[in-house]
A and B are shown apart, each in its own frame.
Chain A
Amino acid sequence: MSSIAQKKGFGAAMWDYLTTVDHKKIAHLYLASGGIFFLIGGIEAMLIRIQLMKAGNDFLSAGTYNEVLTMHGTTMIFLAAMPILLAFMNAIMPLQIGARDVAFPFLNSLGFWLFFFGGVFLNLSWFLGGAPDAGWTNYASLAIASEGHGIDFYALGLTISGFGTLISGINFLVTIINMRAPGMTYMRMPLFTWTTFVASALILLAFPPLTVGVFFMVFDRMFGANFFDVTMGGNTIIWEHLFWIFGHPEVYILILPAFGIFSEIFAIFSRKRLFGYTALVFATILIGFYGFMVWAHHMFTVGLGPTANAVFALATMIIAVPTGVKIFNWLLTIWGGSISFTTPMMYAIGFIPSFVAGGVTGVMQAIAPLDYQLHDSYFIVAHFHYVIVGGVVLAILAATHLYWPKMFGTMLSEKLGKVTFWLFFIGFHLTFFIQHFLGLMGMPRRVYTFGADQGWDLFNAISSVGALFMALGVIILLVNIVMTSIKNERVSNDPWGDGRTLEWAIASPPPFYNFAQTPLVRGLDTFWIEKMEGNKEGMVYAEPLEEIHMPNGSFVPVVMSFGLFVASFGALYNMDGDKGWTIPVIIIGLVITFGSMLFRSLKDDLGFHISKEELLRDVKGGKSDGLK
């Protein structure tokens, strides 16, 4: 294991990424594949807006439109937003707590490859007889009746990628509980680590209901079970419950890390300690708890009865309290700060009014009687895009600019970054603000077209123009990334100049073993404290320089996940009942998966050691990139 950086061929780099168990490289993988799925989901969004551009358009047929809108939602939530957030969690969280890596590096890699193969499986449905078409919520009455294999792709794909997410969640929990550097108490953890922690706990508790629901769905379709078939004594509402018991915590799994990212940005670029740190932490935990007690507000019109509706309406409104606490704390962090309007800060400032607008419409929908009017209208579409795009996507774009130097060692262009921000921000409000009014005018969601006599033409045209702005913004971001990568101007450990937490104390990108010596944490905003006390190195150490034990890379996670991918094809086509090859394919796939698990269990892999001499050489040489 030479620690001298060397140029590698494409094949070697590819093999390196296929076998890596390094949290920073897995972060690259998550960001790249999540980014690609984000582009696919974005193209689907553009198709939707083209179809709805004018009355009576026939750009997409009704059936294709259903597939596109289903895949847009599913891709954006499961394959774009979550993986990209997992990318930042992977890249930054272990650095923020001063850890060597995550607790289980092998599982980290396995989690990624399960997500990846699940996502690929889901998207292959486009080429293999039609995508799922029952909406991302996949309500059972629609899904059971859906012809073709779309729904099966949905159920099996989400099962595989759901395993991956669950594994990552557990991994992060164990990491944060057990691997904090000396002195890093819970109440000294940076907010992004806190939100990662709570979001991981939500993943742990929320994904099992989804798995149960999806299993029921697979059983209904594969084996003729009747969990959701009313005529056979099943109950179609059970799916809605299971889905939303998962689905509501899911939106907090998305928004809490976004809150964490913005909390970091506000503190860094206001050059102030986060106002009300303790309140922000407890608000995060409280939001996590409430997330499990409000799912039925998605189902007010199902007919649960006035008592149930009232209980869930009240519970929902309570969530506005901790969220409000957060908003005010952010405002007070900015207040009196010495603000620098960098690209991430502009996203953060833009986030506050956008997200508050989404929150206010959320409280409106929490009022059950009013929800009867708003349900399934474009008002709902406007609401959830305001919280998801105005919250999560703005956070993802902000974090891309903020953490790009830490992840890749180069700085994205600020000028192009601001162009992206303005195009995206204006486009976002142009697209979705007007949809509130379309909803109030009676336009239902998930319709593939509308009539010229309904008076929705102008507003829909405006909305489509807005989508174009967003697309331009994303294209400029891509140009920015390409240009930055070609220029390849390396930056130092603290490129923003105002970093506060431990990740800014280490080189950009960090060496593959992270901190050569575990840092000692003396308070909140560790790096800031050291900087303010004139410590040139940016950290104090908790241990002498010793040799480091590192895990070996492994190709096994790819093989394990690939086995499930193969088995899913067998399971999917087995439903047809007229294909003889399906059972062997299931067996081959499972043999690959369980065989590689057996291989992993029986073969001792003790990892390797980095000697003290190598570490000393790195420290002296000022080696700053993450290549092995």
Chain B
Amino acid sequence: MAHETHTHVRSQTEYEYIRRQRSKEMRGQLTSFAIMIFLTLIAFTAVAADFSPYLITPIILLLAAVQVVLQLYGFMHMSNKGHGMVAFFMFSGMFVAFITILALVTIVWW
């Protein structure tokens, strides 16, 4: 409610702390961005170099998994505070989906 709104004035120390945090975060984002570009390059190179599909497929799947983790933690702030429950539910969901697909692939379509 309007009459309960407080205006908070930041102190110099607070301001510097937030500034430091943000630049650290930015550095993290740029680093993971660079890593992701590099991983994509590896994937493209592997295909362009015409390696055996038995080598390329696992490499690309592995890189994809790394990319997902980087995406979630680097860009989507899952490493920040208060995301424990979200992470738990996401990984539970992934786990259940993985088990299901694994079972269907092995016993229905294989």
B55-68 near A? 1/0 per residue, CB < 8 Å: 00000000000000
Please report whether the interface of chain B is mostly helix, strand, loop or mixed according to DSSP: helix
Of the residues A201, A308, A609, contact of B107 by C-beta under 8 Å:
A308
Known: A241-B108, A296-B103. 12 other contacts (CB 8 A): A173-B89, A201-B92, A204-B89, A205-B93, A205-B96, A209-B100, A235-B108, A245-B100, A292-B99, A293-B99, A296-B107, A609-B1
Enumerate chain B residues within 8 angstroms of A305, measured Cβ to Cβ: 107
Query: In chain B, residues 73-110, which have Cβ atoms closer than 8 Å to a Cβ of chain A?
Result: 85, 89, 92-93, 96, 99-100, 103-104, 106-108
27 contacts between A and B (CB under 8 A): A173-B89, A177-B85, A201-B89, A204-B89, A204-B93, A205-B92, A205-B93, A205-B96, A209-B100, A235-B108, A237-B108, A238-B108, A241-B104, A241-B108, A245-B100, A289-B92, A292-B96, A292-B99, A293-B99, A296-B103, A296-B107, A304-B107, A305-B107, A308-B103, A308-B106, A308-B107, A609-B1
Enumerate chain A residues within 8 angstroms of B100, measured Cβ to Cβ: 209, 245, 292
Query: In chain B, residues 39-62, which have Cβ atoms closer than 8 Å to a Cβ of chain A?
Result: none
**Docked complex Cα distance between A293 and B104 (Å):** 12
**Docked complex Cα distance between A177 and B85 (Å):** 8
Q: How large is the interface on A (under 10, 10 to 19, 20 to 34, 35 or more residues)?
A: 20 to 34
**Docked complex Cα distance between A209 and B89 (Å):** 17
**Docked complex Cα distance between A293 and B92 (Å):** 12
Enumerate chain A residues within 8 angstroms of B96, measured Cβ to Cβ: 205, 292
Instruction: Quote the shortest CB–CB distance from B85 to chain A (angstroms).
Output: 5
Enumerate chain B residues within 8 angstroms of A245, measured Cβ to Cβ: 100
Query: In chain A, residues 206-250, which have Cβ atoms closer than 8 Å to a Cβ of chain B?
Result: 209, 235, 237-238, 241, 245
**Docked complex Cα distance between A263 and B1 (Å):** 41
**Docked complex Cα distance between A245 and B97 (Å):** 10
Please report whether the interface of chain A is mostly helix, strand, loop or mixed according to DSSP: helix
**Docked complex Cα distance between A515 and B106 (Å):** 53
**Residue of A whose beta carbon sits closest to that of B97:** A205
**Docked complex Cα distance between A237 and B104 (Å):** 10
Enumerate chain B residues within 8 angstroms of A308, measured Cβ to Cβ: 103, 106-107
Enumerate chain A residues within 8 angstroms of B107, measured Cβ to Cβ: 296, 304-305, 308
Query: In chain A, residues 270-311, which have Cβ atoms closer than 8 Å to a Cβ of chain B?
Result: 289, 292-293, 296, 304-305, 308
Query: In chain B, residues 1-50, which have Cβ atoms closer than 8 Å to a Cβ of chain A?
Result: 1
Enumerate chain B residues within 8 angstroms of A609, measured Cβ to Cβ: 1
Enumerate chain B residues within 8 angstroms of A205, measured Cβ to Cβ: 92-93, 96
**Docked complex Cα distance between A522 and B93 (Å):** 33
**Docked complex Cα distance between A549 and B4 (Å):** 13
Nearest 9 pairs of A and B residues by beta carbon: A308-B107, A292-B96, A304-B107, A205-B96, A177-B85, A245-B100, A293-B99, A205-B93, A241-B104
**Residue of A whose beta carbon sits closest to that of B106:** A308
**Residue of A whose beta carbon sits closest to that of B89:** A201
Instruction: Quote the shortest CB–CB distance from B26 to chain A (angstroms).
Output: 29
Instruction: Quote the shortest CB–CB distance from B82 to chain A (angstroms).
Output: 10
**Docked complex Cα distance between A304 and B103 (Å):** 11
Q: Which of B92, B106, B107, B108 has the most CB of A within 10 A?
A: B107
**Residue of B whose beta carbon sits closest to that of A305:** B107
**Docked complex Cα distance between A237 and B1 (Å):** 57
Instruction: Quote the shortest CB–CB distance from B103 to chain A (angstroms).
Output: 7
Enumerate chain B residues within 8 angstroms of A209, measured Cβ to Cβ: 100
**Docked complex Cα distance between A585 and B100 (Å):** 38
**Residue of B whose beta carbon sits closest to that of A308:** B107
Instruction: Quote the shortest CB–CB distance from A349 to chain B (angstroms).
Output: 35
**Residue of A whose beta carbon sits closest to that of B96:** A292
Instruction: Quote the shortest CB–CB distance from B73 to chain A (angstroms).
Output: 21
**Docked complex Cα distance between A432 and B27 (Å):** 67
**Docked complex Cα distance between A204 and B1 (Å):** 34
**Docked complex Cα distance between A160 and B108 (Å):** 29
Instruction: Quote the shortest CB–CB distance from A130 to chain B (angstroms).
Output: 32
**Residue of B whose beta carbon sits closest to that of A312:** B103
Enumerate chain B residues within 8 angstroms of A177, measured Cβ to Cβ: 85
Enumerate chain A residues within 8 angstroms of B1, measured Cβ to Cβ: 549, 609
**Docked complex Cα distance between A478 and B106 (Å):** 51
A138-172 near B? 1/0 per residue, CB < 8 Å: 00000000000000000000000000000000000
**Residue of A whose beta carbon sits closest to that of B109:** A235
Enumerate chain A residues within 8 angstroms of B93, measured Cβ to Cβ: 204-205
